[in-house]
Structure 1
Amino acid sequence: MEQGELDALLTAEGLALLDALDPVETTADVARTVSRLRAAGHSPDLVSAVVGQVRLRSRAETKFGPFAARMLFTRAGVEQATRMAVAAHHAGRMRAAGIERVADLGCGIGGDALAFAGVGMEVLAVDADPVTAALAAYNLRPFGDAVEVRSQRAEEVDLSGWDAVWLDPARRTSGHSETRRVSPSDYSPALDWAHALGERMPVGMKLGPAHDREALPDEVEAQWVSVDGSTVELVLWSGALARDGVRRSALVIRGDASHELTAPADTEDEPVHELGAFLHEPEGAVIRARLVGEVARSLEAGPIAPGIAYLTGDAALTTPFVSSFRVRETLPADVKALAKALRARGIGTLEIKKRGVDVDPALLRKKLNLRGDASATLFVTRIGGRRAAILADRV
């Protein structure tokens, strides 16, 4: 969004027009809506702004639910914003640590700041981009004087009197629409500055889940977060926000439920097990946190092969930290033989999972030419140095 579009949108006319528009889902919908609004005499900037916001609100529903219908966004802001379910956990940790005033540096469109203010904290929300800061101010307006929004560089903020900092370094090039990822050495603010800040005061710092583990400071708590099967972020907690004796954490959120696994360090893996009656797929947060061994022991299971994060065992056990499957049989790994075996079993709906092999599940599905009314899950992986195809059913 450009400044002209923002100026046109943040008017009584602009906001009323936005709220009156029906959903715009297809390219044809966009064309019709733009033509109708231009014919009604609305300016090009206003038309572009309101049509863009209707589409962004629809996309943002996956992260913000019904709140999205009363918020304003940039495309980059939607992509980079913290999901509300995750932000609520961040806010809960802040409150549990006794934090009353938090500075949100790199606030984006205000997702985390909304959660902080929602649990009664006083919030300073800061973003270097003036347009993004203006949208954050709009989104945070229901909290009145409890939230101050500024357009300012994180490094320039006076943090005197603030109890803690929430920090989301920019990990992409600047812009409101098309952006690309940058290397950690180009994050803004710089990671060296951010880590030094964490040594002086309590800091929660959001990073990508694939961030280099070797670059993690020893004294922080590293928490990986999975939401509905996707690993979405890594948070480094320092000072009073880091829990005693915890250096590795996997937070798993599915729907309204959440579960957490913690440890003082990476846990040791279990020995390789022969394929048993059950196969377990650990959550991505568990794998990233290197707590697979802890989960394996709770399931009386072990990995099916070295370096493959599928667990197997004979105990009829499961846990919120894995998806569990009952093994039917091992099928031929050759595509033609596999297709014949699946057709013989009447399997027309197949969930395909893979690890340790160079397989494109979508391409494999086409080659299998599935037919039938039955359904199953197929694991394509390696066992004993050879490719294996394991047919299973979700527990």
Structure 2
Amino acid sequence: MEPSALAKLLDQEAWALLNALPPYEEKLAMVLSERLRAKGFDPEVVALVLTQSRLRAKAEPKFGPFADGMLFTPAGLEQATRLVVAAHHAQRYLAAGITTVADLTCGIGADSMAFAGVGLTVLATDLDEATAAVATVNLRAFPEAVVRHADGLALDLAAEGLTGGTGGIYADPARRTRSGKRIFDPKAYAPALDDVWALRDQVPAVGIKVGPGIPHEGLPQDCEAQWVSVDGDVVEAGLWFGPLAPDGPGRSALLLRTDGGQTSARTYRGDGIGTGTGEGETLPDAVEGVDGVGRYLYEPDGAVIRAGLVADLSRELDGRLLDRTIAYVTTDTRHDDAGQVPLATGYRVLDTMPFGVKRLKSYLRARDVGRVTIKKRGTAVTPESLRAQLALKGSAEATLVLTRVAGSQQILVVEPLGSPAAPTTTPGSTPGSPSDSE
């Protein structure tokens, strides 16, 4: 967004128009645009407010009702931290005794909103003038926050009062090019990751948001690297230094679940000796062994997988991996997670069979299955392609897992724990039986 466009958007009449618009609907946008122009509104203003209305609707999953009073840029919204996650960032600084935070790459101001919301003094900076202006609008309700159009790395940290033990630094480096292409090399972040974590020599309390795909190799040994999932989706990773990592260096997973407007959280660090990600990497010391399919299958939360804690979870479940490179854990004993936020989704294994479309099609038709949920790990088969090949027409439902078992492509027929087990006739092995119903 150009500064001139932002100035037009912040005009009293344009701002009032934006806030008076009905909830955004793509199919009605053109009709609404024509209606507003017919009423005499500037066509550029109409385009600006409708764009913001669309972005606000898109932002609702991240910001909830706060989105209705915010401004966005497309790139800023794409990278912005969800407020439910930003709140946990803010709590780290608060618990560490930090009173002032410099948000070096504030973007549209999502994390700065959370910092100011818990009473921290915030200095937010951004290199892009229009983005800094948008952040100023979004932080207008927080007198604790000041926004500057500036290079955060060029700040005089001592002069800003950040080096006395109660100051902290936060950064969310840009991970996309101007064309929108995702950047995977941390050295190509803007600013480069090395330049940001070097600041811990001046300010020990440093937090950095990074992409969840960041490799474990090369991460500083003195940080807590934490992967975060929200309702099962892995949304980010964070690197936390000094007092922001009270449990010490290592890898952890933060799992957040929302239900009825309430959020539950669970942090998992495992036993600290797991290696690898559990997805595409061999886990030589992960478990006692890789063996056949047990009665139950557990799919770890994505944050647990990305944090490389599948082996830890496998030991906790007294289980084993189906394959050393696949993040599925199988057990012979059911384990019910008493927590509000489970570390893994559990399934009862009904049947297994070698992969084969003809065999699977016959199996499902014999059971009147017409709808299938297909999960996959470690196979090139796409659920859409397989579903089309099966061409099912029955009335029953089934859940299929396409994966490798000790290197062999297999199909597991499963059902979520809590569902009554259905009698089956297995064209292969039979991990469960009708008497296993619970």
Q: Identify the TM-score tier after normalising by the shorter chain.
A: over 0.9
Q: Deviations over 1:103-129 (max 9, x none)?
A: 111111111111111111111111111
- Give the stretch that moved more between structures: 81-90 or 376-385: 376-385
Instruction: From the superposition, tell whether residues 199 and 272 of structure 1 become closer, same or farther in structure 2 (CA, over 3 Å).
Output: farther
The question of 1:67 aligning with 2:66 is answered yes
Q: Equivalent residue for 1:181?
A: 182
Q: Equivalent residue for 2:192?
A: 190
Q: Equivalent residue for 1:277?
A: 295
Give the 3-state SS of the residue equivalent to 1:273 in structure 2: coil
Q: Deviations over 1:131-162 (max 9, x none)?
A: 11111111111112x10011111212222212
State how many pairs are aligned. Answer: 390
Within a 5 Å distance, the mapping from 1:73-222 to structure 2 comes to 73-144=72-143, 146-160=144-158, 161-162=161-162, 163-174=167-178, 179-182=180-183, 183-201=185-203, 202-222=205-225
Q: Equivalent residue for 2:363?
A: 341
Instruction: From the superposition, tell whether residues 278 and 217 of structure 1 become closer, same or farther in structure 2 (CA, over 3 Å).
Output: same
Q: Which amino acid aligns with 2:93?
A: M
CA contact (8 A) 2:221 2:249 kept: no
The question of 1:359 aligning with 2:381 is answered yes
Q: Deviations over 1:323-350 (max 9, x none)?
A: 1111111145211221221122222232
Distance, in Å, in 2 between the alignment partners of 1:199 and 1:375 is 58
Q: Deviations over 1:84-108 (max 9, x none)?
A: 1111111111111111110111111
Distance, in Å, in 2 between the alignment partners of 1:15 and 1:194 is 37
Q: Which amino acid aligns with 2:20?
A: A
* TM-score normalized by the length of structure 1: 0.95
Gaps of 5+ in 2: 275-284, 418-438
Distance, in Å, in 1 between the alignment partners of 2:326 and 2:218 is 24
Alpha-carbon offset, residue 198 of structure 1: 2.5
CA contact (8 A) 1:247 1:263 kept: no
Give the 3-state SS of the residue equivalent to 1:297 in structure 2: helix
Q: Which amino acid aligns with 1:150?
A: R
CA contact (8 A) 2:71 2:137 kept: yes
Q: Equivalent residue for 1:253?
A: 256
- Give the stretch that moved more between structures: 332-341 or 260-269: 260-269
Structure (1 or 2) with the greater helix fraction = 1
Please identify runs of 4+ aligned residues in structure 1 that moved more than 4 A: 263-266
Gaps of 5+ in 1: none
* TM-score normalized by the length of structure 2: 0.86
Give the 3-state SS of the residue equivalent to 1:98 in structure 2: coil
Distance, in Å, in 2 between the alignment partners of 1:353 and 1:379 is 5
The question of 1:232 aligning with 2:230 is answered no
Q: Which amino acid aligns with 1:269?
A: A
Q: Deviations over 1:271-304 (max 9, x none)?
A: 2132111000111111111111221122121101
Alpha-carbon offset, residue 263 of structure 1: 4.9
Q: Equivalent residue for 1:35?
A: 34
Instruction: From the superposition, tell whether residues 44 and 158 of structure 1 become closer, same or farther in structure 2 (CA, over 3 Å).
Output: farther
- Give the stretch that moved more between structures: 361-370 or 128-137: 361-370
Q: Equivalent residue for 2:20?
A: 20
Q: RMSD over aligned Cα, in angstroms?
A: 1.6
Give the 3-state SS of the residue equivalent to 2:142 in structure 1: helix
Distance, in Å, in 1 between the alignment partners of 2:381 and 2:46 is 45
